[in-house]
Chains A and B, each alone.
Chain A
Amino acid sequence: MNVREGDAQARSTAEAVARRSYGKLVAFLAARTRDVAAAEDALSEAFASALADWPTKGCPSNPEGWLLTVARRKVIDMYRGRRRAEIASERIQIMAEGLDAAAADADIPDQRLALMFACAHPAIDPSIRAPLILQAVLGLDAKTIASAFLMSPAAMSKRLVRAKDKIRQAGVPFTVPEREELPHRLDTVLDAIYAAFAEGWTDPGGTDLARRDLAEEAIFLSRVVTELLPSEPEALGLLALLLHAEARRPARRNPNGDYVPLVEQDPALWDHQLIDEAEAALNRASAMGAIGRYQLEGALQSAHVHRCRTGQANWAEVVQLYDALFAIVGSPVVAINRALAIAELHGASAALESMQAVAADERVAEYQPYWAARAELLAKAGAHDEARQAYEIAVGLERDPAVRRFLQQRQSALNP
């Protein structure tokens, strides 16, 4: 094998390990020191060493163990270099324990879940939890995450550093919470994964690579959680929700790149394998007999898919699901979607009436879906002047040019 072939092989092995094991290695390295930043730095140096070493000496039989051993040595060097007295020596000792054992043992314990619980700990600012998980578990860089979350890369890096400092300084535990605490704490992890997916979702065309990847990464994380916590119905509910949404991605744009609303989508373009997987997850969840937010959202997706596939209206069931969801979440977002379902069942006026409480909530003033829903309902109710104004605001608040065009077309279809 020549150098170039060795180089290519080393690179592809390193990439495969990075994809499969990055979070596992960070979790294992940081679990006892709680120093996520040091674990990440050491691991990235270990990957650099691998790329220098493997092409000439060949890939090790246990690349994961090789990387872990090198990374642990780097962490020890780092702490020695800092010479931070007793803290350093304590961490060095923790790191040194089982250093050789790790290299020999092919089975590195999977502590990714504990890492996710640390990242989504109540002591961590909720808005940074999803970015933190994406970085610590998947190794995404701050720049990629910042673009997806519409933040400046500098500000995102700073906030990630601060969050990692907090984990270390405040002693946030790297553990999966006990039974009685689990459901509540799991919610924060699921919320963070959902936030990551939602950011990826804002690019339904899938043209923005950073965004599309984020949706895929969120599904990957969601699968990891269901594998490690197989009897948590909400984790399955979230997976079902994400898979359903992802399954319809190919149908959300026509060949001209125009936005296609759900009612006009061609079910033949949906990914039926993903839908089947989503349905199976939902069934498993419902057998566990503890309803929750994500299962309800998953069930709503399932109901929409069923209606579109069979042509049988199921709006009464949909409204019921939204009622249950609203009782749990109570967010204006749910009330808006519920209103659209009420319109199908009882007409636009009833739907507008149901949105009155939402209209008073000042958070919706800059929330595009509220104005788009309101415009549609007003148009249906025949209040074309008001509908025109609402469309105008919805267009002004939209960031996706295809949706903007769609709303403009709806607006110009109104009676003059």
Chain B
Amino acid sequence: MQYLLMLYANETGWSNLTKAQQEQGMAAYTAYTEALKKAGVWKGSNRLQPINSATTVRVADGKSQVLDGPYIETKEQIGGYYLIDVPDLDSAISWAARCPSASHGVVEVRPVWAMQASSAAPAS
């Protein structure tokens, strides 16, 4: 089963770290990614640019509305994700606990909605 691990953390926490601490932090993520790949469960991952780069788009009554900033302003913001393929939720949780974000922020574990290949595309 595929799970999306959403990494939430306080962005200012990162910018307050010293350069050496940041390097150590990055190295921990690299090692974590490697461990996922070695275990054959890694499907994809990305780090996101800070929230001041976010833009929110909504179309209502045929009019598009574009706003500067994230959808919800919270202290902790999503800063990246991992997509993993593991047998069950327990296994997803144990990988989430190893993610460096779990120690300085929060990791939300969400199962991916499995779709049949035929029904995945909207009917045209």
Contacts and interface: CB of A to CB of B under 8 A. Distances in A.
Instruction: Please determine whether chains A and B interact with each other in the same assembly.
Output: yes
Interface of A: 150-152, 155, 365-366, 392-401, 404-405, 408
Given A393-B35, A396-B36, A152 B98 contact: no
A399 B98 contact: yes
A393 B38 contact: yes
B90 A396 contact: no
B27 interface: yes
B27 to A, nearest CB: 6
Contact of B98 (A151, A155, A392, A398): A398
B93 A397 contact: no
B104 A397 contact: no
Interface of B: 24, 27-28, 30-36, 38-39, 89-90, 93-94, 97-98, 100, 102-104
Contact of A401 (B33, B39, B100): B100
Complex A-B, nearest 5 residue pairs according to Cβ-Cβ distance, in ascending order: A396-B35, A396-B31, A395-B31, A401-B103, A396-B32
Given A392-B30, A399-B97, 9 more contacts: A155-B90, A394-B31, A395-B31, A396-B28, A397-B35, A399-B98, A401-B103, A404-B28, A408-B27
A22 to B, nearest CB: 28
A395 B28 contact: yes
Give the one of B35, B38, B97, B102 with max A CB within 10 A: B35
A365 B103 contact: no
A155 B92 CA distance: 13
Contacts of A396: 28, 30-36, 38, 98
A150 B107 CA distance: 13
B34 A392 contact: yes
B28 A151 contact: no
Contact of A150 (B30, B33, B94, B104): B94
Contacts of A404: 28, 100, 103
Contacts of B97: 150, 399
A207 to B, nearest CB: 11
Contacts, number: 56
B69 to A, nearest CB: 31
Interface of B is mostly: helix
B70 to A, nearest CB: 27
22 contacts: A150-B90, A152-B93, A155-B89, A392-B30, A392-B31, A393-B35, A393-B38, A394-B31, A395-B27, A395-B32, A396-B28, A396-B33, A396-B34, A396-B36, A396-B38, A397-B98, A398-B98, A399-B103, A401-B103, A401-B104, A404-B103, A405-B24
A335 B74 CA distance: 48
A204 to B, nearest CB: 14
B98 A150 contact: no
Nearest to B34: A396
A375 to B, nearest CB: 12
A176 B28 CA distance: 49
Given A401-B100, A401-B103, A401-B104, A151 B27 contact: no
Nearest to A154: B89
Contacts of B27: 395, 408
B9 to A, nearest CB: 13
A150 B36 contact: no
Nearest to B27: A408
Given A365-B38, A365-B39, A366-B39, A399 B102 contact: yes
Contacts of A405: 24
| Listed residue (A152, A393, A396, A397) with the most chain B CB atoms within 10 angstroms of its CB | A396
Contacts of A365: 38-39
B89 A393 contact: no
Contacts of B104: 401
A408 B89 contact: no
Nearest to B109: A152
Contacts of A395: 27-28, 31-32
Contacts of B31: 392-396
A399 B32 CA distance: 10
Contacts of B35: 366, 393, 396-397
B82 to A, nearest CB: 12
